[in-house]
Structure 1
């Protein structure tokens, strides 16, 4: 008997999240994909094998995850990596010295660090622009531009990019559009549907959802591009172990349920913050006062649980960060538990201080990752943490 949704994209999102890319174990019938904890595979004879030779190249657990996330993103090819940055670094190996990249100015601090501190030393050139305005992307394009790299929403300023417009500009210049979809996840946003060429994630975050592994994912449609990325994955070796792949695969089975709750809690917390502080201090795409709310409604199915709040000073930020009890002061995001952080001093500390100032990324900005706890407990925690401000 063959289970449905093994290899196609039929079925609603929740059904695909649970079934896509996975088959019962042929030996035992186990419904959960086994953890193939092996480094090599016995071959049937010289030049004859079952499709597996060495685990850096392929692993059945990893392949199940890759098929699953590809189905959720609406793509043909999925690739799992040992971290989100390992994923991006492997994508960047598609390019060569002299190539030019147009990058959103407010990307994750680790992305900027990889580009600015490492890859430019190998001859890649980068221009950073405010991608909220598509014309700024177009103005930054050169004959050597081979990639447009964006996050939407951005980390941590929650700025959006018009995916369709960015894809049109990139393709007009014979460049790839690469999108970091970590914040939105395929449940709320599918960049490939708007013309993106590669979508990538820190799988550590919402895809896994339980804060117990580190990983990355890339999804794309083009067969030739997929062949090249598979070669890079095997040659450079930034691959996850089978247990980490299994942990993400476990996480995607509840992605649709968790994202609904993240979104519900995010909306409630954002509204509470607006009532407490005023809408000019709260940055959340789900608020009608967000300057790109209409775009968010057009290209996203929901707004998620990520909220940024401008408190004005480092001292006021510390007042809240050190008083929370349900929210935990920690880096990362997207887990079932609620987290709170100061991006300027934590996730974006590698961004030069003058650049942070230009972006408006102050030491008074805090970032909330609303988990799936009871929202009343989250609100009570914030109430006591904000007391005295």
Structure 2
């Protein structure tokens, strides 16, 4: 079955009672039990709800996993996965990691005795050197946000297996349609489902998927204990958004490729970061492990002042945080997604003062290019 066919089949979970083609919204916090000694599959919605379970089953299938867990936000999913570790454990994490993930690593986990090191995940030797006797997992984000750095997933998995470590991969930018970390041996995949999976800037959601029975138990325990679960109405909206993921992501990615090539030829742009460009340092690896360059690119216009001018004169993209929506979104990572990092930390991970991140939506690509050209004309 083709991936797009599977996408539609998985998101059209007919109700066995009424035959409704859309998953029913079960607005109930609690569930009646048959008798004193016989309890049903559902008892309390924090622990499990029919609507959320349908969404979790769908996301697991799309990612090629056995177990899926939906959370209230992407950070709730990432945090819950990181909470399976214990005091004294150590993690090795890509230094080009999302700012929210950095916040949890830097400001929260150390209070519980969980330590970490940030290293360049494009360099296997650096990862190997960072591994300690108490290291438990390697955390991958590829393409990285917002530098679009690429990690060789298979190489990191091989190192992890050699060292007896777990691997976790953030697959938000690529989606299950274009990159399949579990098939490459990753143990746990996480997403901010707020982004491409939902796709309409209308909900917050996160997902974690695994094939491992024991890891599934540990993730579910945290999900149930902490209770940061996705509400049923938002689950329904996520399922609705998923139905069009294939056509949305394909169009946005094709437009992103065209825009990246156009910006690369513009002398006013210092650098374009996009793994669909052959000039990208991770291009060959990305081509092996993903089927698209994706719908997000970053470009450097040389300075904070130039970035401000471009943003102020753009007319089509929304200037905002987030990405992966039907509307194009331009953001300034130093003050938005990575505001937690100071100026030295930003430069260390490759986020320069003139860097802008563009999430390409469904507008006509010619209009987006014309708009970028007129905004760039204001650069001195």
Instruction: Calculate the TM-score normalised by the size of structure 1.
Output: 0.95
Q: 1:105 corresponds to which residue?
A: 95
Distance in structure 2 (CA, Å) of the matches to 1:235 and 1:268: 46
Q: 2:132 corresponds to which residue?
A: 142
Aligned length: 379
Change (3 A) 1:45 1:282: same
Show the 5 A alignment for 1:108-257: 108-257=98-247
Runs of 5+ consecutive residues of structure 1 not aligned to the other structure: 1-10
Which of 377-386 and 196-205 deviates more? 377-386
Contact 2:71 2:229 in 1 (8 A): yes
Distance in structure 2 (CA, Å) of the matches to 1:277 and 1:345: 25
Q: Match of 1:276, SS?
A: coil
Which of 353-362 and 231-240 deviates more? 353-362
- 1:53 and 2:53 aligned: no
Contact 1:22 1:68 in 2 (8 A): no
Q: 2:27 corresponds to which residue?
A: 37
Q: 1:317 corresponds to which residue?
A: 307
Q: Match of 2:362, SS?
A: coil
Q: Match of 2:36, SS?
A: coil
Distance in structure 1 (CA, Å) of the matches to 2:274 and 2:198: 23
> How many Å apart are 1:62 and its aligned residue?
0.8
Give RMSD over aligned pairs: 1.2
Contact 1:345 1:363 in 2 (8 A): no
- 1:93 and 2:93 aligned: no
Change (3 A) 1:13 1:175: same
Contact 1:97 1:123 in 2 (8 A): yes
1:55-106 C-alpha deviation (Å, 9 max, x unpaired): 0011111111111111111111111001111111111121100100000001
Distance in structure 1 (CA, Å) of the matches to 2:24 and 2:14: 9
> How many Å apart are 1:280 and its aligned residue?
5.6
Q: Match of 1:218, SS?
A: strand
Q: Match of 1:46, SS?
A: coil
Q: Match of 1:322, SS?
A: helix
Q: Match of 1:382, SS?
A: helix
Contact 1:342 1:367 in 2 (8 A): yes
> How many Å apart are 1:23 and its aligned residue?
3.0
Show the 5 A alignment for 1:324-339: 324-339=314-329
Q: 1:348 corresponds to which residue?
A: 338
The structure 1 residue matched to 2:267, chosen from 269, 277, 290, is 277
> How many Å apart are 1:211 and its aligned residue?
0.5
Which of 16-25 and 342-351 deviates more? 16-25
The structure 1 residue matched to 2:360, chosen from 370, 373, 376, is 370
Distance in structure 2 (CA, Å) of the matches to 1:164 and 1:386: 39
Distance in structure 1 (CA, Å) of the matches to 2:294 and 2:38: 48
Q: 1:71 corresponds to which residue?
A: 61
Q: Match of 2:293, SS?
A: coil
Distance in structure 2 (CA, Å) of the matches to 1:21 and 1:148: 32
Instruction: Calculate the TM-score normalised by the size of structure 2.
Output: 0.97
Q: 1:357 corresponds to which residue?
A: 347
Distance in structure 2 (CA, Å) of the matches to 1:382 and 1:194: 37
- 1:385 and 2:363 aligned: no
